[in-house]
Chains A and B, each alone.
Chain A
Amino acid sequence: MPKLATLIRVAVFLLLVAFLLQPHWFEPLLRPLVQDNAPVIYNQGSLLQLTFLHLRTVALAVAAAALVALALAILVTRASGAEFLPLSRSLVNIGQTFPPVAVLALAVPIFGFGEKPTLIALFLYGLLPIFENALTGLTTLPPSVMEAARGAGMTGGQRLLKVELPLAMPVILAGIRLSVVISLATATIGSTVAAKTLGEVIIAGLQSNNLSFVVQGGLIVATLAVLLHDGLQAAERRLAARMGR
């Protein structure tokens, strides 16, 4: 039923776009969630703009995390960098075990309120999945293919760019997908330190006891996560299928 699945995805996407552009269309649906006279649709800013800012924060953090994690994974899978493997593992593990809220708390006194502490927290939190997946991808390449690449006279750099990275790409992409989904959800807490994300909507709802706001913010983030997850997974599958996996 791949056709039906695509149809559902397109429908969900269109619903999301409609909600962001014309939120008041959905007022009747959300009305039962609020007490009399309370606003139904978030009224302290544009949902569309917040969504863009949310996505931008996630994109920046994940891009930086991917760059650093990939560079580390490449470094420690070279013969000359193998000794840094345990150190790199510890570093990215610390990034993952440190709660983002704690990172925010520590980063605010240094960088002040706003987007920066959130970016740092998301960056640290996103490193591990990308690093571990890149490591797996780069260390489980078929030995006969690597042997053939060396035997054909490729230099170390050529092997990396022409063989190792393309072959590991589906696994690396899976790591990036995990990071994107984690960051989409985690970015909401950035609004506790005044970062412009969809967390603002949720927090505003919590503060004014407005369930409709909480649901709106939560649903937009969840829908974004599901759509991005699906899109990236489709890209991975396409890549892997080309290689006959």
Chain B
Amino acid sequence: MRVTKGAQIVAGTALLALAVAACGGGGTTTSNPTSGGGGDTPVRMELGEPQNLLVPSNTTESEGSEVLASVFEPLVNYDENKQVVLAAAESIESTDNKVWTIKLKSGYTWQDGTPVEAQNYVDAWNYAANQDNAQGAGYFFGRVDGYADLNPGEGKQVATKEMKGLKAVDNTTLQVTLTAPFSQFKTMLGYTAFYPLPKSAFGADGKVTQEYGEKPIGQGLFKLDKPYKKGTDQTIDLSVYDKYPAKKPTGWTKLQFKLYNSSETAYNDLQGDNVDIHDSLPASAISSAKTALGDRYQDQADAGVGYIGFPLKYNDQYKDVKMREAISMAIDRKTIAETVFSGTRSPADDFINPAIDGYRQGACKACQYNPTQAKEQYAAANGPKTLELGYNADGGHKEWIEAAANNLRANLGVEVTVKPFEKFANILDDLDAKKYKGMFRMGWAIDYPSAENYLTPIFSTGAITTGSNYAGYSSKEFDETVAKGDQAATPEEGLKLYQQADDILIKDLPYIPVYFYRNNSGYSTKVKNVKINLLNQVEWADVEKA
């Protein structure tokens, strides 16, 4: 048969393309342990791409933290009753809440075989706090004495590489001196930033190496099988570390994080049993997940809070607290949580989240939907006829902001302009530049599970310049009450004082809490007993294969 030249070219191109595609496919395929019978099939979990390389002190987002939490053992963990329990620490004690002595449990070793020493903590924390290393989680050490020496400001030389408040007393004892007493210090220690680093993490220049960031060596339950190439790899594969001294999972030894760009896609994979645990089910899947997954669908409190903030510092229009109360009462939180968010949120009724010890149900009276009283009070307070409500358009906030705006229009009889910003940072820029003077949406995800974390970083006077106090709220009474809580002799006493500070916020309403986040997760038919802790991390030792 004669083949024409044109057809030859077409066929040739097609074949070539197929061959290239096929070769490429083979070349980039990561080893996939799920194929092939026998052997140990991994437990697979959905994950978004970590924002940075896997260095604890530079990981402040949930995805990287999830991976690191499986590789490292934190000093403390949190139990089902929201209380701190010791993990890698034998004891954490202080007589004055200022000088803390941390004793390390024996038995922990680095995954390269070397023993874990107190100095490893000192090195890691000093590295994190040093401004020259520009670590995202450096601010966690702001309470440690000597932090200021490592952060003299831009362009200034850092004189020392060590915080004077941080000392390794011996191989297993660590002493931390704070600048001021802080009763919640123990609670902070479970966070990613407080993981230790082995000597091998540091390069000749004293910086954590890129190799380490791709294949972190921890002292926890799992170790990475191979370096993680960020941006290219679609899985992060781990195996149980043999010499891990605490509880290991029974019946399985391999863990695989599968990276997804879309939680909808991951949900489809979950239905196809291609992934075992999905801890951030999309709102669009919630109603179908309840029936499709049955018992394998979980809904639990998540520590995040969503607010609407008032620009107290920038606009006198919002000065009257009665008017702010009226705005708060005009918002139908229940409908927003249940309809707009399909139940992935719950209506907020306190500044402290129900996932955390210290929450009081119904504490915020002005958070209850009461359109009639709202209208009267708004009129009595002579509130402005037009309101502005800003939000960042990149985070799926449009729907609930529109819903809240409709509430205000209908219940207060005012005109409401809804203003989208590209990112949250743009709202802050425009507030600072006085280009924008309206209300704004705001969200808070905790750094450590303590009631105090809902207060100081967002509402203290000091947080106006260094923290997230974007309202510019300043109350002496509030600051003093929180400070008393920080100095309290026992955590219980501290909690009482924090609740008093919470009451001041409820009275002053610099922000209005609108919703609490929920954690909506699902798992496949292949696993059971999946528990997710306060930091939204899976308790791997408890997970069993079904």
Does chain A bind chain B?
Answer: no
Q: Spell out A's residues near B (CB within 8 Å).
A: none
